[in-house]
Amino acid sequence: MWRVLGRYNWIVLGIYGFLADRICKHVVLKGGTYIINEGVSFGFNLGKSTDYIVVIAMFLLLWATLGERKYLWLSFFGALGNVLDRWLYGGVVDYIKMGSFPWFNVADFVIVLGLCLWVMKEIGLLPE
């Protein structure tokens, strides 16, 4: 399956992740339970500056376009969703809470999934 998904298919999956996150955020903002996270991922607080988030997102975009780093497209589109939240709401809308784990959202999941797949490929756990 991994071999079948080329670079452009990973871009499409990233866009689907972005859209799923936007739809979920729209629903919870209309009446669900959520928090506005002014920190980074999973509640880590580095201040309110979005500059570092934009730099990370742009780095992921550049890195994903060079070579065979197609999995990072997932991380790029997840980061894009969270950057958009920062611009619109002053923080990221987190709406998933599981036990004592910090609040998160679909975009965070997509970011982590992309990074995990990339690391698995780099260490040889996924085929080329």
Choice among 21, 51, 85, 108 that is catalytic: 108
Quick one: tokens of 89?
A: 């709401």
Among this protein's residues, is 21 annotated catalytic?
Answer: no
3-state secondary structure (DSSP) of residue 125: coil
> Phi-psi bin for 120: left (phi > 0), alpha (psi -120 to 50), beta?
alpha
Q: Is the dihedral of CA 64, 61, 48, 82 positive or negative?
A: negative
Among this protein's residues, is 94 annotated catalytic?
Answer: yes
Beta-bridge mates of residue 36: 93
Helices (H) and strands (E) in the chain, counts: 4, 2
Residue pointed to by tokens 């065979």: 68
Active-site annotation, residues: 94, 108
